[in-house]
Chain A
Amino acid sequence: MTAAISDDRVVSKSTRRKERGLALLFLAPSLLVFGVFVFYPLIHNAYLGFYRTPPFPGLPKTYVGLDQYKDVLTSSDFFDSLKTTVLFAVMTVPVGIALGLALAVLAHQQLRGIGIYRTFFSSTVATSVAVAAVIFGTLMNPQVGLLPWLGVNPHPPILQNPTWALPAVAVTTIWQTLGLTFILMSAGLQTVPDELLEAARVDGAGAWARFWHVTLPLLSPTIFFAVVIGTIFAFQTFGQIDLLTQGGPLNKTNVLTYFIYTELIQNSNEGKAAVLAIALFLLTLLLALAQIRFLERRVTYER
Chain B
Amino acid sequence: MARVVLEHVTKRFDGTTAIDDLSLEIHDEEFLVLLGPSGCGKSTALRMIAGLESPTEGTISIGERVVNDVEAKNRDIAMVFQSYALYPHMTVRRNIEFPLRSRRVAPTERDQLVSDAAESLGLAPLLDRKPAQLSGGQRQRVALARAIVRRPEAFLMDEPLSNLDAKLRVQTRAELVELQRRLSATVLYVTHDQVEAMTMGHRIAVLDTGVLQQVAPPQEVYARPANLFVARFIGSPPMNTVEGRIKRADGALVVELPGGHAPLPPPIARAVAARNLDQVVLGARPEDLRFGREDGVTASVTAVESLGHECHVACRLDDGQLVIVRQRSQADVPKPDEKVRLVAAPEVLHVFDPTTGSRVDGDT
Binding site for B on A (CB under 8 A): 193, 195-196, 198-206, 209, 213-214, 217-218, 299-303
Cα of A300 to Cα of B103 in the assembled complex, Å? 29
A195-B83, A198-B50, A202-B78 provided; 13 other pairs, C-beta below 8 A? A196-B85, A196-B87, A198-B72, A198-B79, A202-B77, A204-B74, A205-B98, A209-B102, A213-B87, A217-B89, A299-B132, A301-B88, A302-B88
Binding site for A on B (CB under 8 A): 50-52, 71-75, 77-79, 81, 83, 85, 87-89, 98-99, 102-103, 130-132, 146
- B132 and A199 form a contact (CB under 8 A): no
**Contacting residue for A202 out of B51, B88, B89, CB 8 A:** B51
- A199 and B73 form a contact (CB under 8 A): no
From B79, B81, B102, B130, residue with most partner A Cβ within 10 Å: B102
> Which residues on A sit within 8 Å (CB–CB) of B103?
204
> Which residues on B sit within 8 Å (CB–CB) of A299?
88-89, 130, 132
> Which residues on A sit within 8 Å (CB–CB) of B73?
201-206
Cα of A300 to Cα of B133 in the assembled complex, Å? 11
Cα of A270 to Cα of B74 in the assembled complex, Å? 69
Can you offer 27 A-B residue contacts whose CB atoms are under 8 A? A193-B83, A193-B85, A195-B83, A198-B52, A199-B85, A199-B87, A200-B87, A201-B52, A201-B71, A201-B72, A202-B73, A203-B73, A203-B78, A203-B98, A204-B73, A204-B103, A205-B98, A205-B102, A206-B73, A209-B102, A213-B98, A299-B132, A301-B89, A302-B88, A302-B131, A302-B132, A303-B88
Cα of A302 to Cα of B88 in the assembled complex, Å? 7
Identify the closest chain B residue to A217 (Cβ): B89
From A196, A202, A205, A206, residue with most partner B Cβ within 10 Å: A202
- B88 and A195 form a contact (CB under 8 A): no
Cα of A299 to Cα of B73 in the assembled complex, Å? 29
- A203 and B146 form a contact (CB under 8 A): yes
Cα of A203 to Cα of B105 in the assembled complex, Å? 13
**Contacting residue for B87 out of A201, A206, A214, A300, CB 8 A:** A214
B259 CB → nearest A CB, Å:
53
> Which residues on A sit within 8 Å (CB–CB) of B75?
202
> Which residues on B sit within 8 Å (CB–CB) of A209?
102
- B102 and A204 form a contact (CB under 8 A): yes
B37 CB → nearest A CB, Å:
22
- A218 and B89 form a contact (CB under 8 A): yes
Identify the closest chain A residue to B74 (Cβ): A204
> Which residues on A sit within 8 Å (CB–CB) of B79?
198-199, 202
Can you list the 5 inter-chain pairs with the closest CB atoms, starting with the nearest? A204-B102, A301-B88, A199-B85, A203-B99, A217-B89
Cα of A199 to Cα of B156 in the assembled complex, Å? 11
> Which residues on A sit within 8 Å (CB–CB) of B83?
193, 195, 303
Identify the closest chain B residue to A220 (Cβ): B89
> Which residues on B sit within 8 Å (CB–CB) of A196?
85, 87
From B74, B81, B85, residue with most partner A Cβ within 10 Å: B85
Cα of A196 to Cα of B52 in the assembled complex, Å? 12
> Which residues on A sit within 8 Å (CB–CB) of B72?
198, 201-202
From A199, A206, A213, A300, residue with most partner B Cβ within 10 Å: A199
Identify the closest chain B residue to A216 (Cβ): B89
B273 CB → nearest A CB, Å:
53
> Which residues on B sit within 8 Å (CB–CB) of A204?
73-74, 99, 102-103
A110 CB → nearest B CB, Å:
12
B136 CB → nearest A CB, Å:
11
B143 CB → nearest A CB, Å:
9
> Which residues on B sit within 8 Å (CB–CB) of A201?
51-52, 71-73
A160 CB → nearest B CB, Å:
48
> Which residues on A sit within 8 Å (CB–CB) of B131?
302
